[in-house]
Amino acid sequence: MLTGLATPRLTPRQRQITALAAAGLTNREIAQRLGLSIRTVGNQLCRAYQRLGSSDRSSLGRLIGLA
């Protein structure tokens, strides 16, 4: 299964951000919760999508093992 292989390739911050995105939070909400800029959240999600081979939020939960 992909989840076991994909998650270790993410940094701890990327795992944290993708988990919040998979839970339905917006980039703005994630940024406020973690004390980051919205742009940083967007950049981290973009990198996580690339590493996971995904292009959208809807598959994040499944790819990181939350769904």
Structural domain of 33: 2-63
Per residue in 19-63, pLDDT tens? 999 899 999 999 999 999 999 999 999 999 888 888 777 777 677
Could you tell me the pTM of the whole model?
Answer: 0.78
Q: pLDDT band at residue 6, thresholds of 50, 70 and 90?
A: very low
CATH of the domain at 26: 1.10.10.10
Q: Extract the tokens encoding 12.
A: 């701890």
* Total domains, the chain: 1
pLDDT attached to residue 58: 76
